[in-house]
A and B are shown apart, each in its own frame.
Chain A
Amino acid sequence: MTKKEKELISIPITVNVPYRFAAGKYMTKFLMELKNNGKILAIKCPKCGRVQLPPRVVCAQCHVKNDEWVELSHEGTLVAFTIMYLPLTDPTTGKPHKPPFVYGSVRLDGATSVLDHLVNIEPTMDKVWVGMRCKVVLRPQKDRIGDLSDIRCLEPLPGQKKPRG
């Protein structure tokens, strides 16, 4: 005979640790420019020249301090995507994203690295593809709050069709 479940004790505890994370010097500038001027700023390595998002203090490859800012286009190319069927939680609201939804990685024109975000598109395989041109959709200026949600989503540029094959 197996043991009855009620004989086993397990204690429910929610590990709830409050944090206040400093954005730091580089991300503060990024978020301020996004909020106040609707600009997407990346950081350029003075040595290898790669243009990175998110902006950060050091180029890991060259181990030199980054100090050159580059404004990126709001348009770019989708380099990877996934259609999600898990209701993943948005940690800033505690509420789940409603599946199915699309996460995409877009290389904005002028950037070496990508911007990952939700893609506002019908979540079916024939509506989204690698190589699709996308644009960034921002919150209206008056509603911006200075975190990454000021970028609401990515959206496909109009007039495109999925290539055959």
Chain B
Amino acid sequence: MSDRVAIVGIAQSKFSARRPEVNYAEMGYEVIEQVLNNTGLEMQKDIDNSISCSHDIWDGQTISDIGITDVIGGHLRNEEKVAMDGTNMVLYGAIGILSGEFECSLLMAHTKMSQTNRNIVNNDAFDPIYTRILGFDYTSAAALQAKRYMYKYGITQEQCAKVVSKNLANARLNPSAHNMGEYSVGDVLSSPVVASPIHELEIAPDTDGAVAMILASEKKAKEITDNPVWILGFSNCYDAHYLGDRDLADYMSLQKAAQKAYNMAGIKNPRREIDVVELCDAFSYQELLWSEGLGLCGQGEGGRLLDSGATALKGKIPVNPSGGLLSGVPENVAGLNRAAEAYLQVKGEAGEHQVGNVRIAVAQGHSGFCGQHHCVLVLGKE
């Protein structure tokens, strides 16, 4: 049985608005081939478990991992799919190794948002009798959450827009990103309103791409690399499905997931001990709200934290130095991309968007509308 689990390698797509030239197996194989080459591992010899992450309705295929079993090494071997955000596959993969069942697991998340329509796909996440019939989607639900959050804590439109300015500027330094640029708060607020208070530039764009990662037991990790990145803590937590069952300006499930992950990692003071955070800013306001849930500041202080400059690329606790989801990351893949970016930061291999020396990095992912389910990972050097 392994005491610890490490990340020993990652590979990421150059994300793109559309990849019409590849099917999703070919897109997934690009990153699998790359991560195996990078680590020098072989599918048959080294990998004893494969985990994929995507979503049947996005993929347009029932049990959609049947489309990638060949490329992920699932042929006459074990393969399982996580149909939630990609952070959960890291948690799931780590548990498999900690149990002693596996030594070395290949993770691959993939989604082609370009092949269908996000509003229709996301409408299918709603209760068919109660809310689906209204045409609800993630954007309309997010707009309710944004409004509630802004009303309750006095978060301003400018503060939300500033998240976009920061992240799209960071994205210019990230070779995987496809949505980037220099946008002022005024530019963001002059983009069309999609669902008030949310403007077009405040919504993560449709994206195609894949991310692969390899997890290993402590023993195996030390054979593969001299400086593995350790998964020090993980946890996930669900909140109520119906929007009316919770105050959307709160984040009970994120707070609980974070607290458990921090306890596991021995983190007592997240504001002091965390060096960098990659979180799921599917909508601009979510970066502020999730910063609170992760304990980077107090309740209702997400806007002030941003205004203080602390979450900037060279700030005290940079958030989304990669550019986050706003820079273009597919749904489902988002969390594995957060974990991969956190891994690069701990390794000191994030290139131009490296934030400095990172001892502890946190990755957050959420599934479902308005962050119903959250997963938090703590990665570190030792």
A interface, CB within 8 angstroms of B: 11, 13, 15-28, 56-61, 63, 65
Contact = CB atoms under 8 A, between A and B. Distances in A.
Given A17-B120, A21-B60, A22-B19, 7 more contacts: A13-B132, A22-B21, A24-B23, A56-B25, A60-B69, A60-B74, A65-B33
A60 B23 CA distance: 16
Given A17-B116, A63-B44, A25 B22 contact: yes
A13 B23 contact: no
Interface in B110-126: 112, 114-117, 120-121, 124
Given A18-B116, A18-B120, A19-B116, A25 B132 contact: no
Interface in B173-196: none
B57 interface: yes
Interface of B: 19-26, 29, 33, 43-44, 57, 60, 69-71, 73-76, 112, 114-117, 120-121, 124, 128-129, 132-133
Contacts of B44: 63
Contacts of A21: 23, 60, 115
B26 A20 contact: no
A22 B22 contact: yes
Nearest to B60: A19
B115 A22 contact: yes
Nearest to A15: B124
Nearest to B20: A22
A15 B123 CA distance: 10
Contacts of B76: 61
A19 B22 contact: no
Given A17-B121, A22-B20, A22-B21, A60 B75 contact: yes
Contacts of A16: 120
A58 B20 CA distance: 19
A59 to B, nearest CB: 8
Contacts of A27: 23
A61 B75 contact: yes
A32 B124 CA distance: 35
A60 B44 CA distance: 11
